[in-house]
Structure 1
């Protein structure tokens, strides 16, 4: 995992639940593909990498096992699990079903007085990409989208979308570092804000749909197209 991720846990761990921090960093490495499917990781090696005790690492790995990210390997540690095309497709369709109409509603009531807050979040996403910080990119991206959804004051929506994002495996993300595709995806967050400021509900719905499913196809070109109204039918 990246040096910046190790630095982040050292910088932010004070007063923060170490188990949650380790889970977040290891989970992000798995989601992004820094830890590829099949990779073996051990509690002692992760504890040494993050300069923490074994207990929070062990607890973090048990939680990641419950989320399906890893599986235990007797006397060796944990192996990163593979993700199927079906899983990728279903999560992407569900995200599109939820996030696209939600953002359409946000466009009608977007609070202009919060634009500086959201611009900073969008800048953080672009900066993380430019610095090659995959963990930072994933966290900043999640923060941006979840904070915008708070405008709708629907906690169940936020929790559902957050859970779906946590299940999203983007194992090809690491390979996109330094590419125009990832820079374009990062920059789209500012375009989303432009459309929200204009109150352009149709425009933001179209862009958010493209943002979700376009990123999928950058990572997994062989997956079927996800269009508005897509069903959950996927040929084996």
Structure 2
């Protein structure tokens, strides 16, 4: 059993309680759809990781987090197990889950791998995709700019992944989109030192690169595309 006292202070004080989806069974009784609850908890935990609400090196118990989200410990534990598979947390027997402590070196390695995968793809897309298709992605780039201005790390991370996913989706390779998306998500987890002061300015600069990238892709300027993607991955938001 996980001990609920693994962390005394409330890591998610003020967090909204998760709305538990329900459906009627054959007798008309309301039953909880566990898979939907688990998915919502997983999304909420990922947002908490990106936003720094779950601190690197700290141990959190499923019962305590479940109480905060207004659900049982079971979907929280299942969501945490998924995060353990992804490397975001590690299981601590009889206590709960410890948020993985990441280094700047790991972040640099992720940026290198992402560049190796995505730069060639984007250069190919720059040669083949009509300018009108890139124009269709401008609302996604504009959304990242709005979220960056708000300074909300979790919401920016979500919009950032949506933009990059939409760009790579033009390749028609769903395996690429999935692999790149997983690497992208891992690159957004906080470092050991936690969120950096002045993060909003970093996010605004990162979002601006999205617009510049679309312009370069539409113009088929391969040199600028290559430079922007490489710099983007080594920046703050990615």
The answer to whether the superposition gives a TM-score over 0.5 is yes
Are 1:92 and 2:72 counterparts?
no
CA contact (8 A) 2:150 2:200 kept: no
Question: Does the 8 Å CA contact 2:38/2:78 hold for their aligned counterparts?
Answer: yes
> Which of the two has greater helix per residue?
1
- The 5 A counterparts of 1:199-210 are 199-210=220-231
**Pairing partner for 2:125 from 102, 106, 114:** 106
Whether the 8 Å CA contact 1:70–1:78 is kept in 2: the answer is yes
Alignment CA distance shift 1:136-1:199 (3 Å): same
User: Mind listing any 5+ residue stretches in structure 1 that lack a counterpart?
Assistant: 219-236
Show the 5 A alignment for 1:79-158: 79-115=98-134, 117-158=136-177
Query: Is residue 2:192 matched to residue 1:181?
Result: no
- TM-score, normalized by length of structure 2? 0.77
Match of 2:181 in 1: 162
- Between structure 1 and structure 2, the one with the greater Rg is 2
Count of matched residue positions in the alignment of Structure 1 and Structure 2: 215
Instruction: Give 5+ residue unaligned stretches, structure 2.
Output: 1-10, 23-32
Q: Is the 8 A contact 2:56 2:194 kept in 1?
A: no
Q: Residue 234 of structure 2 aligns with which residue?
A: 213
The aligned runs of 1:183-198 (5 Å cut-off) are 183-198=204-219
1:191-232 superposed Cα distances (whole Å, 9 cap, x missing partner): 11111221212211111111111338x9xxxxxxxxxxxxxx
Matched with 1:228 is none
**Whole-Å Cα distance in 2 between the matches of residues 132 and 174 of structure 1?**
11
Aligned in 2, Cα 1:93/1:3: closer, same or farther, shift over 3 Å? Answer: same
Query: In 1, Cα distance between the equivalents of 2:110 and 2:134?
Result: 29
Q: Distance in 2 between matches of 1:131 and 1:196?
A: 27
1:232 corresponding residue in structure 2 = none
Distance 2:156 2:194 in 1: 10
Find the residue that maps to 2:234 and give its secondary structure: helix
> Paired residue for 1:24?
43
